[in-house]
Amino acid sequence: MKKLAVLMLAVLSGAVSADERGSARAQLEPNGFLYGVGLSLSKEIYQGFGNRVIPLPIIGYRSENLTVYGPFVSYEFAEIGDIEFEARLSPRFQGFDDSDSDVFAGMEERDSSIDAGLAVKYERDDWRVNVSGLFDVLNKSDGYEVRAQLGRAFQYGPVFFEPNASVSYLDESYVDYYYGVSADEVTAERGFYSGDSAVNTSLGLSVSTPIFFGGFTQFAIDYTWYDDSITDSPLVDDDANFSVRLLFSKFF
């Protein structure tokens, strides 16, 4: 059962969200190709936007140091005791166009992007600490994010629970790109807004199990509180949101 816990937590929590991979126990984890499917649903804080739904068909690969899980990629390049160092590549599913809400009418499209950077992880006695710094490599926002997360895993039979808390810092370029209003986008209903850096906080819970269809299933929910530099934007009408995701993966 211990190996099962390690496997499930590493593949589901880690490979899907690069902040959560338990590679300190890599000798207990399987290698090879895997497949799966995921669905992410979040209530956007933009005015009139509704829900952002992201389906994720997953084809992946895992080796001792490399994990490819759909569009998420991580590579462990060093390990010192319980501390691991990774390079990461992950998509940023954000942005809008003027068809998403009336509030965006006449504005330039804001695109999703790809982030890359480094992470440091520490694991001991089912506690996990992750600190990462990622920047926009496609030059959409030219911004970066620094995130710190603390989580602890609990087991109840074949079901595993992990509550977690995180804090993220978003730089001025990131906030201005996704929440700012430029001078040529100002209307009578939408004022000029130049975004400043932001610190957001989140609480989350993931529930994972290997009991369905010979693979690994995870359900996760997060609640995020947004900084005033984001919620003061004329594009925004809420100061917090929920997001949920459901994921299933299985090795070939």
CA pair distance 143, 137, nearest whole angstrom: 9
Q: Give me the pLDDT at residue 27, please.
A: 35
* Prediction pTM value: 0.84
* Burial (CB count <10 Å: 0-12, 13-18, 19+), residue 230: buried
The secondary structure of 191-224, three-state, reads: CCECCCCEEEEEEEEEEEECCCCCCEEEEEEEEE
For residue 208, what pLDDT is reported? Answer: 93
First to last CA, the chain: 21
Please report which confidence band the pLDDT of residue 57 belongs to, taking 50, 70 and 90 as the band edges: confident
- Dihedral of CA atoms 7, 11, 17, 23 in degrees, nearest 10, equals 60
CA distance 140 to 219: 31
Residue 101: what pLDDT?
93
Burial (CB count within 10 angstroms: exposed 0-12, middle 13-18, buried 19+), residue 156: exposed
pLDDT tens-digit map of 193-226: 998 999 999 999 999 998 888 888 999 999 999 9
β-partners of residue 56 are 38
pLDDT value of position 29:
57
Residue 134: pLDDT band (50, 70, 90) is very high
SS3 per-residue string spanning the chain: CHHHHHHHHHHHHHHHCHHHCCHHHHHHCCCEEEEEEEEEEEECCECCCCEEEEEEEEEEEECCCEEEECCEEEEEEEEECCEEEEEEEEEECCCECCCCCHHHCCCCCECCEEEEEEEEEEEECCEEEEEEEEEECCCCCCCEEEEEEEEECEEECCEEEEEEEEEEEECHHHHHHHHCECHHHCCCCCCCECCCCEEEEEEEEEEEECCCCCCEEEEEEEEEECCHHHHCCCCECCCEEEEEEEEEEEEC
pLDDT average, residue stretch 115-143:
95
Give residue-wise pLDDT tens across range 58-90.
Answer: 899 999 899 998 889 999 999 998 999 999 999
Q: What does the chain come to in residues?
A: 252
**Closest-CA residue to 227 (of 247, 204, 199, 206):** 199
pLDDT of residue 50: 84
pLDDT tens, position by position, 86-113: 999 999 999 999 899 999 999 999 999 9
Residue-range domains of the chain with CATH: 2-251 (2.40.160)
